Structure 1
Amino acid sequence: MLHRGHEGTDGTGDGGLVVPMAWLYAEYIADELLRGGDLMPPTSFEFRAGRDALALTVFLSDTEGELPGVQVVSHLETWLSLTAYDQPWQDWVRERLAEVAAAGAGRPDPDLELAREAWRWLRETELLAPDLNAVPGGPGPLGEDEGPKVWTPAWQLGLPLGHLAIHLF
């Protein structure tokens, strides 16, 4: 027996597989937005960072449990405001993960587990990215890929990529 979302987690012991539909749909939306923006190769770590940051945004902003039926266009403004540069996105993610966990009251939640894993990867993984704080016009002419680089947490690279992908949609 195949279940969606939280069905089958009520302790009935039917042995059914619980499918994390909300998380998978959030990942699908994020993937489509990034592919549509054509910002980087889908096989790159940067793409994964953008997809995971967007998927977390989409998943955690679904406060009504309507994600599998959501109309993407009607939520773009919300996602843009959550991913904006001046917003404390990482604090919002931590708070929403705690709220979702508390609402589940200890029940197994495969959607939440995948969201937590994505957040862990975004926090703990660092990617080598251009140093946006470097002094312009430094020594000698440099090509686009030859400028100063700095190790950056994946979420700090993925979040602006996701934001840009939403704008390009």
Structure 2
Amino acid sequence: MRPEDHDETGGGGLLVPMAWLYAQYVADGLLETGDLMEPTTLEYRAGRDALALTLFLSEGPVADALPAARVDELRLLTAYGAAWRRWVCARLEARRRTSAASGGADPDLALASGAWRWLEETELLAADLEAIGPPPRERSAYEDDGESRVWTPAWQLGLPLGHLAIHLY
């Protein structure tokens, strides 16, 4: 979105990523309403970015007061990790093609792509939810109070957090 230029010289002003910033704003609001995590944690950032990506890449408008149909759509989109990851990759690629075809810079896409890159490349230490069986005899460096921990891509922590925030909305 270009700022309005009233002198009719063609503008060429700064491109403002309003759609992405607004998606982050709404995601922040959803996470804060649920009071699920401290806003200063990396887990919160992962949840905010996963939810903002979902809002930004979905077809419906982003709004403070989400209609029930929109909330249901967001619940479905965030429900399954592997399907969500494929959906995000496909939507980002489609936006890249559209942006390249139009020949213009898309600052929203640049920020959304950066958020996705962070979610995929950053790993956070989290409880190993797939660890089944008796606890090990010796505690490893990644265990706290007998809880097994593994390094997990940030999106795999952020997506369930965003999903829960949507349920609590």
Fold similarity call, TM over 0.5: yes
Matched residues in 2 for 1:13 and 1:90: separation? 39
2:66 alignment partner, one of 68, 72, 77: 72
| Alignment partner of 1:32 is 2:29 | yes
Matched residues in 2 for 1:36 and 1:167: separation? 11
2:48 alignment partner, one of 45, 51, 72: 51
Letter in 2 for 1:81: L
Matched residues in 2 for 1:40 and 1:50: separation? 9
Letter in 2 for 1:73: P
1:136/1:76 CA distance change after superposition, 3 Å:
farther
Partner of 1:103: 98
Partner of 1:93: 88
**Which of structures 1 and 2 has the bigger CA Rg?**
2
Matched residues in 2 for 1:126 and 1:40: separation? 18
Q: Is the 8 A contact 2:81 2:156 kept in 1?
A: no
Matched residues in 2 for 1:13 and 1:149: separation? 56
Gaps of 5+ in 1: none
Identity over aligned pairs, percent: 58
Letter in 1 for 2:73: T
- Cα-to-partner distance string for 1:90-139 (whole Å, 9 max, x where unaligned): 11001001111222223100000000000000000000000001125525
Partner of 2:2: 3
| Alignment partner of 1:17 is 2:11 | no
Aligned residues: 158
Matched residues in 2 for 1:70 and 1:43: separation? 22
- Cα-to-partner distance string for 1:2-48 (whole Å, 9 max, x where unaligned): 835xx88xxx8523121111101100111111111111100000000
Aligned-residue Cα RMSD (Å) equals 2.5
Matched residues in 1 for 2:52 and 2:154: separation? 14
